[in-house]
């Protein structure tokens, strides 16, 4: 399997890299410190077509594939994980459920603005007692006079409260069935909720450890009424469908994490050459150079893992296990590299204006979000026929 990029893919990487250095990097520290959403950056990303990379041209996209999105995410995350996760969630959790499971009418209505980056969408899955165990969903939706009436709460929903958020796709219990053994199985469906629907509230944003320029809110649904045709996909298949969306999303998150890991390497190589102690650049000391070598090995391994999962996805082959491996390896690489980069930077690594300090705060969520490290290990173990 070749991991060489095509001329078109390489051109995309170079374009995003230039954009990241010229547009994203100069404002990253300010938005992080202010906990402000970078609307101007997101707008320019939309103009570049980044939000439409894997969306067909008929819906306003670029007609590319998921791997193209991953390449863009890796470059963005080298400098600013908040910007990268806004793109990742906007596409993988916002647009892709519509593209995969939406009706033609739903696609035509929502996808063009999402693909253009003019609007953002979120996916309301997680609840206070339903995260890794998403089957524990308590939010409900009942049919009443041709409308779904939704009640419940969601937690940690990305892109859910911006000025350009257009909708949130919500998982909700729409019924129950009794198994032969007497146990009850929840029927979980997904429903599109426009952001301006009465009763739908994006509560005040979280005060997070990292990803400070990313938009994340708890959501409340109080007798929210949306038309019956806002059901996304087949009734009762919402949970199963979203598991498929998560498999794809793990490749994208792995690409983002790889970018974070590589970004730490790039920063620490530059610093180690410039920083002198005892009359020598610290890069000349084996303790430092070996630490950086291990960092590069982690980033390289993470890249190979997500390239492989993306190649399997592109070829139509099973990729669930490979996506879990990529997410596991890349998330740990990002966190380990952030720790080591901060150590090499010393006191400067503890100052928020430096990229490595932001990576140190940002990277921990890469071992938690869109499936914890433990969930990835569970999936990998199951693929080996182990009980876990």
Measured in whole angstroms, how far is the alpha carbon of residue 366 from the centre of its chain? 9
Active site positions, annotated? 370
Helices 238-274, 81-88: inter-axial angle, 10-degree rounding: 160
* Three-class secondary structure of residue 219 per DSSP: strand
What lies within 8 Å, CB to CB, of 102 at 6+ separation is 110, 111, 232, 233
Rounded to an integer, what distance in angstroms lies between the CA atom of residue 123 and that of residue 141?
Answer: 16
* Three-class secondary structure of residue 168 per DSSP: strand
Which parts of the chain fold into alpha helices (H)?
A: 7-19, 25-34, 39-48, 66-77, 81-88, 96-101, 104-115, 238-274, 286-314, 320-345, 355-362, 373-383
10, two tokens:
């390489």
What lies within 8 Å, CB to CB, of 234 at 6+ separation is 101
């Amino acid at each position: 399997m070749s991991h060489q990029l095509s001329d078109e893919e390489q051109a995309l990487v170079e374009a995003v890299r230039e954009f990241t250095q010229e547009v994203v990097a100069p404002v990253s520290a300010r938005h992080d410190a202010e906990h402000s959403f970078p609307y101007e950056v997101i707008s320019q990303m939309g103009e570049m077509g980044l939000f439409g990379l894997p969306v067909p041209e008929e819906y306003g996209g670029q007609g590319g594939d998921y791997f193209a999105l991953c390449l863009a995410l890796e470059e963005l995350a080298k400098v600013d994980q908040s910007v990268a996760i806004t793109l990742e969630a906007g596409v993988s959790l916002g647009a892709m459920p519509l593209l995969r499971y939406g009706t033609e009418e739903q696609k035509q209505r929502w996808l063009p603005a999402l693909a253009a980056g003019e609007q953002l969408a979120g996916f309301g899955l997680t609840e206070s007692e339903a995260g890794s165990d998403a089957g524990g969903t308590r939010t409900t939706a009942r049919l009443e006079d041709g409308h779904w009436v939704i009640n419940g709460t969601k937690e940690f929903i990305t892109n859910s409260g911006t000025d350009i958020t257009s909708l949130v796709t919500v998982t909700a219990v729409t019924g129950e069935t009794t198994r032969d053994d007497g146990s009850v199985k929840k029927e979980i469906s997904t429903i599109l909720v426009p952001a301006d629907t009465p009763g739908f509230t994006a509560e005040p944003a979280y005060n997070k450890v990292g990803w400070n320029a990313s938009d994340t809110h708890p959501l409340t649904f109080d007798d929210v009424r949306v038309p019956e045709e806002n059901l996304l996909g087949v009734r009762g298949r919402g949970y199963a469908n979203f598991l498929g969306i998560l498999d794809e999303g793990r490749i994208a998150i792995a690409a983002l994490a790889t970018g974070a890991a590589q970004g730490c390497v790039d920063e620490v190589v530059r610093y180690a050459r410039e920083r002198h102690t005892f009359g020598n650049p610290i890069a000349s000391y084996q303790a430092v150079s070996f630490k950086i070598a291990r960092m590069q090995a982690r980033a390289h391994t993470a890249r190979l893992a997500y390239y492989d999962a993306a190649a399997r996805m592109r070829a139509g082959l099973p990729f669930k296990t490979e996506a879990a491996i990529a997410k596991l390896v890349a998330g740990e690489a990002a966190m380990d590299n952030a720790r080591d980069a901060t150590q090499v930077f010393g006191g400067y690594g503890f100052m928020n204006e430096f990229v490595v300090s932001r990576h140190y705060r940002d990277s921990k969520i890469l071992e938690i979000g869109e499936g914890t490290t433990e969930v990835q290990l569970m999936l990998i173990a199951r693929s080996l026929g182990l009980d876990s």
